[in-house]
């Protein structure tokens, strides 16, 4: 069975998270080959066992049972790309309770593509967050501004999305990991500038601190790749995309995260 997200990691600001979603880019067999390659990258870095860097993988739904077997016994966390908001008559959805049975302990919710093209609004994302937490699964809540803005303005947008996803119950954020993904940077040739990312996250943490949750894990996604993490300040890790389809790139970012963890806290 796959590992769970460490229960105390949300309360340790020094914890880094490095993960990747395959979206729909890989077929079934290709996904398993990739997962075995990622497992090798993790196995050759025994320092990951200390838990200061938490690696995770999010393959397509049909791959999840086999993925749990591939990564069993490693520090890798298994995630899912989406979940429904309840058990019952929701054709085509997958209940969080079933994902939990399959060894999933992390679920990506509120991604910009689902918000834009599948019309998932804040209310639906909030229902999914509540259902995931009830099933014992950590929501990886995707948030981000539509267009590049002043960092303070972008942070205000993201803060509003987090508030909406928890129904304004800030104590509920203790169950979340935030994936800050500026919509304009998703699928771009390069990520947002490191200074911009750091400024937005710094401003966001200041807003969150007013609610007593300034140490919430916030990772960056949006064309993220090796070389970015060492340039970031107050960011808890990276949510990688197509650059990590080469497992060696995933390993490179793990090395960067391990080095950062050695240096000390995110803040």
Give the tens place of pLDDT for each residue, 119-174: 999 999 999 999 999 999 999 999 999 999 999 999 999 999 999 999 999 999 99
Measured CA to CA, the distance from residue 237 to residue 38 in angstroms comes to 17
- Running DSSP on this structure, what letter comes out for residue 223? S
Q: Which residue out of 108, 120, 145, 181 is catalytically annotated?
A: 181
Q: Which residues contact 248 (CB under 8 A, 6 or more apart)?
A: 41
| The two three-digit tokens of residue 133, written as one number | 């937490």
Measured CA to CA, the distance from residue 185 to residue 190 in angstroms comes to 7
Measured CA to CA, the distance from residue 185 to residue 173 in angstroms comes to 25
Measured CA to CA, the distance from residue 142 to residue 224 in angstroms comes to 14
Q: Cα 207 to chain center, whole Å?
A: 21
Give pLDDT tens digits for 83-106: 999 999 999 999 999 999 999 999
Is 181 catalytic? The answer is: yes
Confidence of residue 3 (pLDDT cuts 50, 70, 90): confident
Let me know the angle formed at the C-alpha of 186 by 97 and 83, rounded to the nearest 5 degrees: 10
pTM of the model: 0.95
- Read off the pLDDT of each residue in 54-61 and give the average, rounded to a whole number: 98
| The two three-digit tokens of residue 76, written as one number | 């890798």
What average pLDDT does the chain have? 94
Measured CA to CA, the distance from residue 137 to residue 96 in angstroms comes to 7
DSSP codes joined into one string, 81-116: S---SSSSS-TT---HHHHHHTT--EEEES-HHHHH
Does the pLDDT at position 219 exceed 90? yes
Q: Which residue out of 3, 10, 111, 245 is catalytically annotated?
A: 111
Q: Cα 225 to chain center, whole Å?
A: 14
CB 223 within 8 A of CB 191: yes
Kindly list the distances between the CA atom of residue 118 and the CA atoms of 75, 121, 183, 244, in Å, as whole numbers in the listed order: 33, 9, 15, 25
């Amino acid at each position: 069975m796959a590992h769970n997200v460490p229960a105390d990691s949300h309360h340790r600001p020094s914890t880094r998270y490095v993960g990747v979603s395959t979206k729909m880019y890989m077929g079934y067999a290709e996904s398993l080959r990739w997962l075995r390659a990622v497992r090798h990258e993790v196995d050759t870095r025994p320092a990951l066992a200390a838990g200061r860097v938490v690696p995770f993988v999010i393959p397509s739904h049909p791959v999840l049972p086999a993925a749990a077997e591939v990564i069993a016994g490693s520090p890798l966390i298994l995630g899912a790309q989406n979940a429904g908001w309840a058990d019952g008559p929701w054709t085509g959805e997958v209940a969080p309770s079933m994902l939990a049975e399959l060894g999933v302990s992390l679920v990506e919710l509120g991604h910009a593509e689902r918000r834009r093209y599948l019309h998932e609004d804040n209310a639906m994302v909030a229902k999914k967050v509540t259902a995931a937490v009830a099933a014992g699964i950590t929501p990886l809540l995707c948030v981000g501004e539509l267009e590049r803005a002043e960092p303070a303005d972008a942070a205000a947008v993201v803060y509003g999305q987090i508030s909406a996803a928890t129904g304004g119950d800030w104590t509920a954020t203790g169950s979340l990991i935030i994936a800050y993904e500026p919509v304009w940077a998703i699928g771009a040739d390069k990520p947002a500038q490191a200074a911009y990312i750091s400024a937005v996250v710094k401003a966001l943490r200041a807003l969150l601190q007013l609610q007593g949750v300034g140490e919430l894990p916030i990772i960056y996604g949006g064309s993220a790749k090796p070389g970015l993490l060492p340039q970031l300040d107050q960011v808890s890790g990276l949510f990688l995309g197509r650059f990590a389809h080469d497992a060696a790139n995933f390993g490179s970012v793990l090395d960067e995260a391990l080095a950062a963890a050695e240096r000390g806290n995110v803040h």
